[in-house]
Amino acid sequence: MMLEIHNFTQNEIDEKLFQKAAEVALEIVSKENSALRQAQGRIEISLAIVGNGRMRRLNKMYRKKNRVTDVLSFGDKNILKYLAKAFPRLKKNSPSAGEEFIEPPDGVKRLGEIVICYPQAKKQAKRLNHSLEKELAILLVHGILHLAGYEHERGGKAEKEMREVEEQILAKILR
C-alpha cells in the first residue's frame, strides 16, 4: 500500500501515523472485499493536507457548498470500475458498475485522493478535546472508507455500518 502525501501547509505532520492509519483501514476493509485484498500491496492513495482557502474552493467546486469542510474524498473512476462488482457498497446505478478495470502498466490500483483541511482538523480536535494527531487519523480513515464505498450521508443502516468500521479501525490505530 502506498500513501502519497502532499502537505500544502507550513505545519508538520506525522507521515508514519498517516501510513499506519491507511494500512490498517485497507487491511480491515479488505477482509470483506476480495478485489481490495488481492490488490492491497499495489494500492495507492493520494493525501493532500490543505488550508482553509483551498478546502473552501474545493468544497464549492465539487459539492456546491461555499464553506470549509474537514475532509473530501475523490475516488478514481478506474478503480471504481474494477471494484464495482466485488464491492456491494458501491452504488448499483453508478455508470461504472459492472465494468472491468483495465490494469495500468505499473500494476498500481489508484484508489483515489483524500483532502484534509489542517486548520479545520485542529479546530475539531480542540472542540472534541483530543489530540490533533487523533483527529487527522480519524479524517484519513473516514476518507478511505468513502473511497472504499462506505456512505453515511443518508443515515440509517449505511451510516451505522460505516461508523462501526471506522471505530474498529481507529481502535487498532490509536492504541
CATH numbers and ranges of domains, the chain: 2-173 (3.40.390.30)
Annotated binding site for Zn(2+): 142, 146, 152
First to last CA, the chain: 21
- Residues annotated in a binding site: 142, 146, 152
Return d(Cα 131, Cα 82) in angstroms, integer: 37
User: Cell 502525501 belongs to which residue?
Assistant: 5
Distance of alpha carbon 34 from alpha carbon 36, whole angstroms: 5
Q: Which three cell numbers stand for residue 137?
A: 487519523
pLDDT tens, the chain, 175 aa long: 789 999 999 999 999 999 999 999 998 988 876 666 666 667 889 999 999 999 999 999 989 999 999 999 998 664 555 445 444 544 443 433 343 444 555 667 788 899 999 999 999 999 999 999 999 999 999 999 998 888 887 778 888 999 999 999 999 998 7
Question: pTM for the complete prediction?
Answer: 0.81
Q: How far apart are CA 42 and CA 33, in angstroms?
A: 15
